[in-house]
Amino acid sequence: MHILTVNLGDRSYPIYLGEGLLSRTGELLKKAGSGKKVGIVSNQTVADLYLDPVQESLTRSGFRVIPIFVPEGEEHKNLKSLSDIFDRLIGERFDRSSSLIALGGGVIGDLAGFAAATFLRGIPYIQIPTTLLAQVDASVGGKTGVNHQEGKNLIGAFYQPRLVLIDLEVLRTLPRTEFVAGLAEVIKYGIIEDPQLFALLEANLEDLLSLNRGLLEKAVAASCTIKARVVEKDEHEEDYRSVLNFGHTIGHALESLTGYDQFLHGEAVAIGMAQAATISRREGLCDDKSLERILHLIKGAGLPTDLPSGIRLEELANKMEVDKKSVGGKIKFVLCAGIGKTRFHWLSAEDIIARLASIQKKVESENR
């Protein structure tokens, strides 16, 4: 078992990473000092697979367990589900010493985390992420929240978990498309911070895609370490944490424009990263060889790199989120300066699509 730490003073917490950890939940939670009453927020799919070992382990350690189900899907990461969770917690007389476990992907993690952040002004919570995306990204760093019909993640809070328990075995039941989408975020960490991780992915992509145990552990541990270090530097995304948005300005806009049903998040981010890297090359920040490696790795993972044909760039621009701290409607766009280094450029949405348009023109002329 790997133990990583997110160092945030009195809100520091461990990330336990290994195989077969679900059946050690009780012991690890005890160590973290939780009260006796524990709610497990999950959905039917994940609960059918993994509730039993978690619940048994907790019961063995003397906890009283209350499973709380929410319906499956991003569309249920909303105020209604939150309110249903509160009803259960009140009905079961949860107090401030009780805790919540998020057992599931990022949807469950964000929802349960926000419930924990706000119930009785905050009760402890534990992340047990069961998708690759949640293991390397959503479960670490304390962003919690729900969607509003007007937009994703509009309601939320920064609230750190007490511990994160990553059992790599659960990835064996994850649909391959979900695994590959999560891999996009792992590739992102390599590009923004870690040439060694990038090279590891390049050299072992096939083995990783077949869920080789040792490689999975290395890739997830390296990713969580990077996420932890970034969050330690800038917990509330005042400055440096936006480096994690590499590929996301274009990726988020594309998800929004296509109504969130054409691409998984990681797929849209893969396209965003490929486009951002190409822009970086054109700005003279990224060399040809690095760009080639980035595109090759993304494609090799089975992820897309091109914007879908038929996308209207002006419409894409309308979906780009302007940075809250910007003056004059600029976006803090993350570019890469080779592999492992980034630069922020303040660009307007129009600046970005002008660059995308010129990339598209070049591709078209090459294809002719």
Ligand X SMILES: NC(=O)c1ccc[n+]([C@@H]2O[C@H](COP(=O)([O-])OP(=O)(O)OC[C@H]3O[C@@H](n4cnc5c(N)ncnc54)[C@H](O)[C@@H]3O)[C@@H](O)[C@H]2O)c1
Catalytic positions are 121, 143, 185, 227, 237, 241, 245, 248, 252, 265
Site residues (CB under 6 A) for ligand X, limited to 15-44: 43
169 binds ligand X (CB under 6 A): no
Stretch that binds ligand X, among 15-23, 166-174, 233-241, 282-290 (CB under 6 A): 166-174
Per CB under 6 A, does 281 bind ligand X?
A: no
Residue pair 266/181 in contact (Cβ under 8 Å)? The answer is yes
Give Cβ neighbours of residue 121 (< 8 Å, ≥ 6 apart).
Answer: none
Residues numbered 105-134 forming contacts with ligand X, rule: CB under 6 A:
105-108, 110, 130-131, 133-134
Out of 7, 173, 177, 326, name the contact with ligand X by CB under 6 A: 173
> Shortest Cβ distance from residue 171 to ligand X (Å)?
6
| Joined tokens for residue 353 | 């699509």
Residues 6+ apart with CB under 8 A from 205: 297, 300, 301
Contact between 161 and ligand X per CB under 6 A: no
CA distance 69 to 53: 16
The verdict on 256 binding ligand X (CB under 6 A) reads: no
Contact with ligand X (CB under 6 A): which of 2, 11, 45, 204? 45
251 near ligand X, rule: CB under 6 A: no
**Number of amino acids touching ligand X (CB under 6 A):** 27
Residues that bind ligand X (CB under 6 A): 43, 45-46, 49, 72, 74, 77, 104-108, 110, 130-131, 133-134, 137-138, 141, 143, 153, 170, 173-174, 178, 265
